[in-house]
Each structure stands twice: as structure tokens, then as C-alpha cells.
Amino acid sequence: MSESGGGDKRAKRPTAASLAFLGFALLAFGARADDAAPKPAPPDDGIIKDVMKKVGLAADPGQPEDFVVKARPGGEEDYVPVGRKAFVRGAKAKTPAELKAMEADFDAVQVRHNALRSRFPPAVKAVAAAEAAKAARDANPKKKPAAPASPQ
């Protein structure tokens, strides 16, 4: 007897749970008395979006604020603008004399920085290596690059 009584209880639990779930689902999707008649959906809305709207996970965009409407152009545009306007330079090109003056400033800064680096032993080696590379480059100005290795 205990087996048949336990079997009935087991059968009633899933049924009761499924009926409770179905009741909550109907309450969530059902129309309420204070709701207005639903507006017809625009043609681009699909079934999924309609369901998401009813659940409350999607919404139709509202009317834009006044400042947004005022900021938009008055009429319809004939095209969609793409990209940006061409960059217009405000500065004029440097003269050769100005370029020489800039180079002299850069060289003066380099001399000052080299003096600071000379107090730091690892930098002394780096400066010496850079000067040796520059001297080697100046000695062989038109050295041809090595030919790439051929595949074997």
C-alpha cells in the first residue's frame, strides 16, 4: 500500500509544478484590464521581437527629445555623407634656414643628453656602439644588402 500511495504523490508534484508555471506564464502574457488595445507592429518586427516586447526585454524607440529634433537638418538629405573632409594644414612649410636652426637645436639636445648618459656606465657602452655603427655606416655609404638565401 505504501508503494501505491507514494506513486500518487510523485505523480501529483510534477503536475502541480507544471500547472503553477502555466498559470504564471498566462498571467505574464495575458492582457490586463488597464491595458490599451495593442498597436499593430511595424512590418520589420518579427515574432521574436514581439515575444521579447511582451516579456519586457525589448521596446519600441520613443519620440526623440526636442533638442535632438532641433539639431537635425530641416529637410531630407539626398545622400548619406561618408568619411571626413580633407585635412587642411594650418601651418606653412619650413624654410631651409628654419630647418637648419631646428637641426642645430636637436644636435645641442643630443650633446646634453650624451653628457648625462656618460655618467651611467651601461649607457656609455650604448653611446660608443652607436658612434661605431655611425662611423661604419659613413665609411661604407653604398653597401649592397645581402642577397636573400635561396630555398633548398
pTM score of the predicted model: 0.27
Nearest-angstrom CA–CA distance, 48 and 44: 11
Q: Taking all residues of the chain, what is their mean pLDDT, rounded to a whole number? A: 76
C-alpha cell at 94: 619650413
> Does residue 104 have a pLDDT over 90?
yes
Whole-angstrom Cα distance, residue 24 to residue 17? 11
What digits encode the pLDDT tens for the residues 74-102? 777 676 667 767 677 788 889 999 999 99
Calculate the alpha carbon distances from 31 to 4, 35, 56, 62 in Å.
42, 7, 14, 22
Q: Which of 60-64, 67-71, 122-126, 139-143 has the lowest mean pLDDT?
A: 139-143
Tell me the C-alpha distance between 130 and 124, whole Å: 10
Task: Please compute the mean of the pLDDT values over residues 37-56 and round it to a whole number.
Answer: 74
